[in-house]
Amino acid sequence: VGKIHMYTPATKRAISIKTWDGTTSFIIPVRDRSDHFVVGEKLNVTLIHWDVENNKIVSKQVLATMPDKPTNRLNDGKCDSTGRLWSGTMTDAAGKDIKSGEGFFYSYSNKDGVKLHLKNISISNGIESSSYNKKLWYIDSRKFMVDEFDFNVNNGEISNLKPLFDVKKNNLPGAPDGMTIDADGNLWVALFGGARMVVVKPSTGELIRTLSIPDTIKVTSGCFGGPNLDELYVTATTDDETGSVFRVTGLGVKGLPAFPFDLPVLPLNLITRVGPNLHVIITVR
């Protein structure tokens, strides 16, 4: 709990470090800033300088706090091609204690701040956008649906909700969780409780492929990696919340590079308090 992790396939080096005492929702690299990441902590989007060579936290700074219920927390997060962060919330609980309709879906950028897009979300999960920046796909897991929106990437607006893929109507087990996109524009959707990822063609809403993950049933997400972006990394969990990462090769498809978070250079008027393990950075505006 409260850890961020990094695995380097080329060297097989795996490191992790604890950054706080709660659930960490996401971690995304910052554009053009080595060892800097934005991390979801409770309702905060936190900038972390993580010295990965020495596995030390150099500094932390809260960039934004979602104007949400104190009983909620952020869940999945992903950036669009402009570096704008998209993330939603859910009850800070597990299983049957998660309340339906209590969450929200937001975007955040340095330019526009926090913007609310959707209400009455139950479990905010997978987020993906098209390579041509005209569509955004989103999963609220308790809808058992992949939804599609028209997407204006320039002003960060979504509109015209359309159900794209219904898990139950396709007689699939589990609920949709995280997702990623391949170079052909197809969506790879993790089925939590379904022991698989399914591939959906957005132009038709058709199920075109199923990938079984035999060693676990709680598949949570996936992304493409490796030197040629032709390896699928699948995350999963167990009843005791032990996490696993699976590498799947030989799929015959490639992914697209993930977009980093865009953060302009910080102002020079910073006050830094140095402790034994942490530098707390406060921006004076």
Is 200 within 8 Å of 186 (Cβ atoms)? yes
The class level of CATH for 173-255 reads mainly beta
What's this model's pTM, rounded to 2 decimal places? 0.91
Please tell me which residue in 92, 177, 182, 262 is annotated as part of the active site: 177
- CA torsion 174-101-67-275 (nearest 10°) is -40
Question: Among this protein's residues, is 150 annotated catalytic?
Answer: no
Whether residue 55 is annotated as binding a ligand: the answer is no
Phi and psi dihedrals of 16, rounded to 5?
Answer: -155, 160
145-152 vs 157-166, strand pairing mode: antiparallel
Whether residue 125 is annotated as binding a ligand: the answer is yes
Q: Would you kindly state where each structural domain of the chain is located, as residue ranges?
A: 173-255
Residue 230 to residues 173, 256, 257: CA-CA distances in angstroms? 27, 9, 11
Mind listing the pLDDT tens digit of every residue in the chain (285 residues)?
899 999 999 899 999 999 999 999 999 999 999 999 999 999 999 999 999 999 999 999 999 999 999 999 999 999 999 999 999 999 999 888 999 999 999 999 999 999 999 999 999 999 999 999 999 999 999 999 999 999 999 999 999 999 999 999 999 999 999 999 999 999 999 999 999 999 999 999 999 999 999 877 899 999 999 999 999 999 999 877 788 999 999 999 999 999 999 998 654 444 333 333 333 333 232
